[in-house]
Amino acid sequence: MLFETNGCQRISIVNLCCYVPAKMRKNEKNQFDNSIDNLGNPMSHYAYGMGWGSACSGPLDLFKMTVGEGGIRSPLIIAGPGVKGGRQADAFSYVWDIMPTILEFAGKPHPEKYRDRQVARMLGKSLKGVLTGSTKAVYNEDDLVGGEMQNGKWMRQGDLKAVSVAPPYGAGIWHLYNLADDPGETNDLANDKPETLKKLQAAWDRYAKDVGVVLSK
């Protein structure tokens, strides 16, 4: 099982230093060498910034650490016994579907307790049907799936996605997109489908309360 990190990097080499341990910053011998000849070699840690990060996400919107599709949509590769290979499945799934999938393939139930402590319930669904080829979708048109990233919020039902991208990469305003027709999130349907947007916003509020989302100020 292999899946990519969440989107293209938007950090530039100028502000990359905030991710480097202080000990390394103080020692000149341990500074990065991002010369052309050294790119991809030891001590090379190049980051090309927001513009190229956005370009590399194309045609999706935005990049890593945002809730635009460019920050949360990633490819997933799975191979193994029982998996029908040699094909691409376009079914929507989410990272919380990994555990139910592994447990179903292993024939193991999700434990209710571990060492006398209650185990939190799983939120996802198994991908086994899609992986074996017996079904085409993991979620039906009524299922609600949502998440958050650094004050950004999103909730999806079928092909419709309500999303609020937090500053500084967005205005923190809710938008509505049909990802089947508009994966780049360019055509906002909020004014055309206000009741749908309200329904998805309310669903996100319920999700946040259920899992204990804490938004920063």
Mean pLDDT of 71-82: 92
* Residue 215 included in any domain: yes
| Structural domain of 208 | 141-217
Asked if residues 127 and 139 have their Cβ atoms less than 8 Å apart, the reply is no
pLDDT at 58: 84
CATH number of the domain residue 187 falls in: 3.30.1120.10
Q: Which long-range contacts (CB under 8 A, 24 or more apart) does 208-211 make?
A: 208/148, 208/153, 211/123
* Residue 32 included in any domain: yes
* Residue 113 included in any domain: no
* Residue 122 included in any domain: no
With cut-offs at 50, 70 and 90, classify the pLDDT of residue 26.
low
Q: Would strands 2-3 and 76-77 be described as parallel, antiparallel, or unpaired? A: antiparallel
User: In this prediction, what percent of the chain has a pLDDT beyond 70?
Assistant: 90
Give the residue from 18, 44, 72 where a domain finishes. Answer: 72
Give the residue from 57, 72, 87 where a domain finishes. Answer: 72
Q: How far apart are CA 13 and CA 101, in angstroms?
A: 39
* Residue 90 included in any domain: no
pLDDT at 19: 53
Mean pLDDT of 123-137: 95
pLDDT at 145: 97
User: In this prediction, what percent of the chain has a pLDDT beyond 90?
Assistant: 64
52 has a pLDDT exceeding 90: no
pTM above 0.95, yes or no: no
Mean pLDDT of 163-191: 95
* Residue 166 included in any domain: yes
Mean pLDDT estimate for the chain: 88
* Residue 98 included in any domain: no
The total number of structural domains that make up the chain: 2
pLDDT at 78: 94
Residue 156 CB burial class (10 angstroms; 0-12, 13-18, ≥19): buried
Pick 11 or 175 by higher pLDDT: 175
Give the residue from 72, 91, 108 where a domain finishes. Answer: 72
* Residue 135 included in any domain: no
